[in-house]
Amino acid sequence: MNFKQTINEEQEILLEYTKHNISELIASGSIPLAAGMMDRLGFLEKDQLAYHVTNFEYLKELASNQHKKKQISCFTKGGPELLRLPSQPNILMMLKGTTVIKGKTDIWTLVSTRDRRWLDINPKGYAGAKADKLLFLVQGVLNSVAKRADIFVDAYGDSSLIKQTIDNLPGKQKIILYKSYLQEMENMLNKHYKVLIAYINDAAEWDYNEVILTRWEIMDVWCIEYDDNVTTHLLNKLNLPFAGVMSKRDLKDLKI
């Protein structure tokens, strides 16, 4: 599939409520965590272990997504916040894959179609001035790209208006804008690498961290505070290794 087909497919798929379309992500000043770009910037690390919490009903989907380019949010260091996740996970997995990016805390990634992750910069969060500096640079990328494409947007203004402007562009212009945004983002990050590092090391005050993996495989699966024949039967059917039952309290102490 070529670049144009990939972008068109992403924009045409109906997104789940937790996912975001490209125009929204660009308008908000998010950074695409494209594996190729992150590799050239020196972030990719192969054969890395990390944990992922999920729910029983997603086991089949996760098993089928192994070894693919899809990205998944994980952690290598637990924290008490994991005990209070609104999703109330009942499955813990250990995964092995390629790290796209790794923070010392939660780095606020958003999900695009096909589970591609974007870094959401939170200027009102814990990182403060570090977030402001990175966001300013990202907004400068959008202003520069839009100006060269003869598109009027105010990257420092209302993100909903920017999104509307991008949504109203003809399909070909959207593709050109997105491709230019990726290219210029990489150029900017290559020059301001330390600004990105400073932000992802201090993006939140949580004890757990966030690691984005791609081309991952499932190494072990634990049930969190329950065990039943239905789960073990499904794990056997999916050829996934069952490592036993883990207490919810133990999530905060996990570390790789």
| Concatenated DSSP letters of 159-204 | HHHHHHHHHTS-HHHHHHHHHHHHHHHHHHHHHSHHHHHHHHTSS-
Could you read off the pLDDT of 182-213 as tens digits, one per residue? 999 999 999 999 999 999 998 888 899 999 99
Instruction: Tell me which residue has tokens 């192969």.
Output: 46
Alpha carbons 207 and 205: distance in angstroms, whole number: 7
Tokens matching residue 34: 């494209």
Residue 146: CB atoms within 10 A of its CB come to 21
Question: Which residues have CB under 8 Å from 8's CB, separation 6+?
Answer: 171, 175
Whole-prediction pTM value? Answer: 0.86
- Do 28 and 63 meet the contact criterion of CB atoms below 8 Å apart? no
pLDDT in tens, the chain (256 residues): 443 433 333 333 333 347 888 999 999 999 999 999 999 999 999 999 999 999 998 999 999 999 999 999 999 999 998 888 877 889 999 999 999 999 999 998 999 876 689 999 976 666 688 999 999 999 999 999 998 888 888 888 888 999 999 999 888 888 889 999 999 999 999 999 999 999 999 888 889 999 999 999 999 999 998 877 888 889 999 999 999 999 989 999 999 9
Number of domains the chain is built from: 1
Phi/psi of residue 200, nearest 5 degrees: -70, -15
d(CA 63, CA 67): 9
Domain coverage including residue 125: 3-253
Residue 180: the pLDDT is 93
**Token pair 């272990």 in the structure block, residue:** 49
pLDDT value, residue 124: 64
